[in-house]
Structure 1
């Protein structure tokens, strides 16, 4: 069994400075905490970033490194800051399509080596999962194993910070296998905006993003993904129509955490769908964001994405 640990920074690798916590520990420190004694664990320092500084270009660095040495190792661990871990997990979930071995993202709420840190337990959970034969990308954190496209950070401080949205948690006792041959989908179109709807928001907000050259907009609507229609003081429907004309893909999702979006239920959603808006379904915003970037990169300029699944 050979496992590769890729360190990218985050709280788990941090030490106190005069300006607060900053990544300082190495992948070697992460590996030592796992305590694998049989030489099965190799480590690489890939990045050293607070996860608030992680961007799509870093997703590509991680995904490409895993793809390059996929057949050399039986599993992978990526240590990462918690604040954007769900975004990176979702991106890797889609970028490493059909991966036939485990890729486990983990981190901690308190730095490795501090009294009461959750780092050691999370690292060992990730190592156990990386050795399990599970196929796919997941978050290993707080005793939970969560599919990469379903993870959401729900608590800013609690050790049990992440929850699975729209999918059951992973049971390592149940066999898993990839549903397709491995394919690295590492092209990303970053012209995607996420806009949260609020009462009184003007539809010109949508128009401004379209005019700025965005090819995709994820609109966090109300309830099942609804946006103001013809009975509103200012309807969003004309802006959605202009988005379609300008080849800007609109994905409607919900501000609710659970149950997802369904724009076939109410007139305000149906009318939006008739204008080309897509439903985000049960995917959390982190997964929708990464998914739309990949799909747009694979869609010719001047065309919209036709489906998110």
Structure 2
């Protein structure tokens, strides 16, 4: 492994990492990434060339949507041949959603796309922005035998590199804001940058990049809870143009066995609505049929999300619906790992 000269493109979408503090007023203001090296001179120590591009109107990540996801994918597609790696600067609140979705949108990815951000702005005295940004660029520039070492969508935060579609934001205040409970860290930054190469995604290098921009968000997410009513469940399934529903169940995929609940699910599955079962737990997996309370779901054709995160479950669902896949093939593809999102 070596870290030879690489061309890296920074894509700024918005978020805390793109803010600096006005020390006279204490107010936060947008950061001009064209002056990046002036703000973070440590970047000049990296053996790579860095270029930047920004959304015309950077947004708070709470306003992130599928049009923005397509915009990020388009920027990567437009610059794919000119750069060896990409670092996407993004607000932390929806970073796992965006990064997970991009992992499905970028098929046969042969270069790193590293998402990062920060809990504090670049100009803050105790900021985590500099370390996250510097190491993300270093990770994106890693090469082996003249080719990018990492060939997947990743997320870097607080000394850890994760597979993006395995991550969840767990903490709104700690610098260690993200975790990946069901998959190993891809790399860890300490005195040395240690890459766990055995856990990296290995795409078919004979295939070329294919960008998927058709996403379908006619979906819903239901988190079951003790005492949930028939009216609440039915109201979701009454949504116009609904095509699929993700249900966050308890533990290993368990939920109420009340007849009204199962009848609603059965009726909608027969009407062509895809229903996916994922667990509310941050770690572990759905095991349909393992307990009596999930056997009925398996029998009526509910799709198992296995150990997928909520963020990846949503991105994968929008992606597959956008491919207009239906019937048994849809169920098979959803239960099959496409980008390393399932064990």
TM-score, scaled to structure 1: 0.91
Moved more, 79-88 or 44-53: 44-53
Gaps of 5+ in 2: 1-5, 143-147, 188-194, 337-343
Q: In the TM superposition, what is the alpha-carbon distance from 1:184 to its structure 2 partner?
A: 1.3
- Cα distance per residue 1:203-238 (max 9 Å; x no partner): 343332222131111111111121211xx4x54110
- Cα distance per residue 1:60-116 (max 9 Å; x no partner): 110121122212110000000000000011011111122001000000000011100
CA separation of 1:68 and 1:89: change in aligned 2, threshold 3 A: same
The answer for the alignment partner of 2:156 in structure 1 is: 140
Q: In the TM superposition, what is the alpha-carbon distance from 1:274 to its structure 2 partner?
A: 1.8
Return the match for 1:109 from 106, 119, 144: 119
Q: How many residues align?
A: 304
CA separation of 1:199 and 1:142: change in aligned 2, threshold 3 A: same
Q: In the TM superposition, what is the alpha-carbon distance from 1:30 to its structure 2 partner?
A: 4.7
Return the match for 2:197 from 163, 174, 182: 174
> Which residues in structure 2 correspond to 1:9-88 (within 5 Å)?
9-15=14-20, 24-30=30-36, 32-33=39-40, 35-36=43-44, 40-46=49-55, 47-88=57-98
TM-score, scaled to structure 2: 0.82
Return the match for 2:284 from 252, 259, 273: 259
> Which residues in structure 2 correspond to 1:83-102 (within 5 Å)?
83-102=93-112
Return the match for 1:6 from 11, 14, 18: 11
The answer for the alignment partner of 1:120 in structure 2 is: 130
CA separation of 1:30 and 1:56: change in aligned 2, threshold 3 A: farther
The answer for the alignment partner of 1:245 in structure 2 is: 270
Q: In the TM superposition, what is the alpha-carbon distance from 1:23 to its structure 2 partner?
A: 6.3
Gaps of 5+ in 1: none
CA separation of 1:278 and 1:203: change in aligned 2, threshold 3 A: farther
CA separation of 1:98 and 1:165: change in aligned 2, threshold 3 A: farther
Larger proportion of helix = 2
Give runs of ≥4 in structure 1 deviating > 4 Å.
20-23, 29-32, 300-304
CA distance in 2, matches of 1:101, 1:150: 18
Please tell me whether the aligned partners of residues 23 and 50 of structure 1 are also in contact (alpha carbons under 8 angstroms).
no
User: Which SS does the other structure have where 2:253 is aligned?
Assistant: coil
RMSD value over aligned CA atoms?
Answer: 2.3
The answer for the alignment partner of 2:215 in structure 1 is: 188
Q: In the TM superposition, what is the alpha-carbon distance from 1:5 to its structure 2 partner?
A: 0.4
